[in-house]
Amino acid sequence: SLLQEKMILSGLLLALALSGSIATDIEVTKDRHFDILILTQHWPFTTCMDWERGKGHQCRDIAHANWTVHGLWPTQMGKIAPSFCNNSWKFDHSVLEPIMSDMSLYWPDVEMRDVPDSLWDHEWSKHGTCAAQLPETSTEVAYFSKGCQLGKENRITEWLAKGGVVPTNEKDYTIENVWDAVMNGTGGKRPHIDCVKIDGQAYISEIKVCYSKNFTRVSCDGIKSSEGGDMMGKCLRYESFSYPSSIPPPSHLSNSGMIGGIVCTVLALSAVGLAVGYILYRRGRRRGRGYESL
């Protein structure tokens, strides 16, 4: 009946209104607070090696390799949060035009994707919208400007070089080598040093330096709840690791790869030898049979 249809329609409208209200309440009550900011810088050759493991993935040419900004991440102690604090605040490339020279120098994206500005878009949407709580990072251009400024102040390439740690494909380094060099650079503030394993070889990938909400450099203790000890980061998993100076590092064709190549070569030569032997054998048999058949 008409009355029943009206009642059903009213019920649906009420349900939609309630669901919208609940969603709004959840959005309003989402915990966006943070305790610390993590300036994460990455090494471009390792980033590219990791990226190019994906099918069809390519990187831009790296003319002058330096540690550059990956992101500036507001973080709650012991948690990977907050993130995506304002989904309505979309990334806008045009507002970065005044600082584009700094962006290209201190915050470049070496990974080639089909989506323009994919790194910057992601960093703003996930982290910048949360950092906007602070006066110094309250807008998109302010957030990226601050990241570039911190990248300029934290010259990891120079810090490592002063400690005798330079990119090379001829030898590996230990966490102690890198840790001491970075600690000297930060003025004693404890960093977080990460490595990634690619084709059986460990490579240094990221170095994190932490800041308070008034942008004073602080130690990164407590950014991950499971950590302890004097040093921090995923590089602790490995006895040594590479600080590569090219893509791919020619001396880090892994032993297993070299052995595999040798084995394949031996097998191929053996197969050729067997084939030649078989042909000669068949020819000999044909000659014998042919003589007997006359």
Q: Are 154 and 72 in contact (CB under 8 A)?
A: no
Read off the amino acid at residue 209: V
At 191, is the secondary structure helix, strand, or coil? Answer: coil
Choose the catalytic residue: 123, 192, 206, 252.
123
**Those residues with Cβ within 8 angstroms of residue 243's Cβ, 6 or more apart along the chain or in another chain:** 43, 160, 165, 166, 167, 168, 172, 173, 178, 203, 204
At 36, is the secondary structure helix, strand, or coil? Answer: strand
What tokens were used for 276? 């030649």
**Those residues with Cβ within 8 angstroms of residue 270's Cβ, 6 or more apart along the chain or in another chain:** none
Write out the H or E segment, with its range, that includes residue 202.
strand 201-211
Choose the catalytic residue: 27, 33, 42, 127.
127
User: What's the burial of 223, exposed, middle or buried (CB within 10 Å: 0-12/13-18/19+)?
Assistant: buried
End-to-end CA distance of the chain: 105
What tokens were used for 169? 């494909």
At 281, is the secondary structure helix, strand, or coil? Answer: helix
Choose the catalytic residue: 70, 140, 192, 206.
70
**Does the annotation count 123 as an active-site position?**
yes
Residues labelled catalytic: 70, 123, 127
